[in-house]
Amino acid sequence: MKIKSIKAYHVVQPFVDGPYRMSKGRVADCFDAVIVAITSDSGVTGWGEMAPLGNFYSAAFPAGTRAGVPEIAPHLIGHDPRGLAGIGRLMDTVFKGHPYIKAALDMACWDLAARAADVPLVTMLGGRESETAELYRVVTHGTVDQMAALAKRIVAEGCRRVQVKVGGNVGDDIERVTAVASAMPKGTVIFCDANAGWTPYQARQFADATRGIDYTSEQPCTTIEENMSVRRMLDKPMVLDESVTSLQEMLEIHRRGAADGLTLKISRLGGVTQTRLIRDVAVDLGFMITVEDTGGAEIDTAAMAHLSLSTPEERRLHAIAFHEWVTVRTASNKPPVTGSRMGIPDGPGLGIDVVPDLLGKPFFEIG
C-alpha cells in the first residue's frame, strides 16, 4: 500500500457559546482548523485534523499549519502509510521541528492504517479499556457572577467535572474559584487551570488562600522548575499540560516529581504516534492521564476519544468533547456523548464519516 494523494482543507469552526477567554486577556472566537485527507493506491482514505486555539496558546498557530503542510506532504507520496514510525521519522527529516504541523498528517495515516485493517483505531492503540470516558466542561474567564452562573448551568446539565480558568489577578481568581466552588454540589471535581499565567509568587498566594477548597492545580506557571517550586508547598494534586512537549520533557517531569498527572495534547506532541508513546510510558511511570488536543471538530475529537478509551481506566482522568463546542459539522456522524460520558463511533479507523462537501475547496492538493 502506498500514499497516492493528499488534500488539505482550511475550516474555521466558530464557538457555540461565543468567545473563549483565558488569563491575561487571551481570547479566541473559533478553532482555525486544518483537515487533511490521505488516500492510498488501494482507495482507502484516512483523515486528520489540527486546530490551534488562536495564535497565543502554544507554538501551534493557524497560518503556520497551513504553510507547513504543503512543505511536508509531497515527501509522503509513495510511502506506506501503515509504516507509522517511518512516516514520523521522514517528516522529522524533511521538516525540522514544528510538531503541530505534522499532527494532522500523522493522524490521517493512523486512520488510514486502521481502516485498511478494518479495525477501530482504539484496537491499534492498545485495545479498548472501557466503553466511555468521563467528560469535563470549562468555566472560562469572566466576572465572578458570570463564572458562578456558568458553573451552575454546567452542573444542571449533568456534568460533575469542571475546569476553572484562572491565571489572572490573584485576588480576583481567589474570588472566582470560591464562588464557583460554592455554586456546585459537594463532590464536584474541580481543576484550576492557570494556563501558565502566574509567577511562582502568585501561584503560592493563590494556593495559600484556597486551602479550604478541594481542587487539582493545573499548570500554574510556565517552566517545570517554576511549577516544582509551587508543588513543594502545595497540599493538592498537580497536573502539567503546557510543559509536556516531548517524551524528554515528560521524563524530566517524572524525574523531578513535578506532577501527579499529565494532559497530553495531540498536536503539541506531533500526532497520534508520539501521544501514544508518551501516554504508554507515562502510565507505566504512574501518572494520571488526560488525552485531548488544542481544538477541533469530529475528526480530532474522535482521535482524542480513541486515545482516551485505550488508556487504562484507573489511570485516566477525563476527556473533553470539542465537537460540541463548534457550530460547524465536518462529518455525518460523531463521537457519541450520553450525559457526561463520551464513547467512540462504530466503524474502522476513527469511525467517523467525513463529508468532503462540508469542508469546502482544498487549499492544497497533490497526487
Q: Which of 4, 7, 102, 165 is catalytic?
A: 165
Question: Which has the closest alpha carbon to 42: 107, 112, 108?
Answer: 112
d(CA 176, CA 197): 15
Stated as kind and residue range, the H or E segment containing 108 is helix 99-117
Question: Which has the closest alpha carbon to 66: 33, 37, 110?
Answer: 33
DSSP string, 295-333: --SHHHHHHHHHHHHTS-GGGB--B--GGGTBS---BSS
Q: Confirm whether 265 is a catalytic residue.
A: yes
Q: Confirm whether 165 is a catalytic residue.
A: yes
Q: Which of 4, 7, 102, 265 is catalytic?
A: 265
CA gyration radius for the chain?
20
Three cell numbers written together for 157: 446539565
Distances, alpha carbon 157 to alpha carbons 15, 81, 136, 137, 276, in Å: 18, 42, 12, 10, 32
d(CA 338, CA 215): 25
Distances, alpha carbon 39 to alpha carbons 1, 70, 112, 366, in Å: 10, 16, 8, 11
d(CA 191, CA 151): 12
Sequence-separated (6 or more) residues with CB below 8 Å from residue 140: 20, 21, 22, 147, 150, 165
Name 39's bridge partners: 5, 45
Cα atoms in the Cβ-side hemisphere of radius 13 Å centred on 306: 32
Length of the chain: 367
Catalytic residues: 165, 265
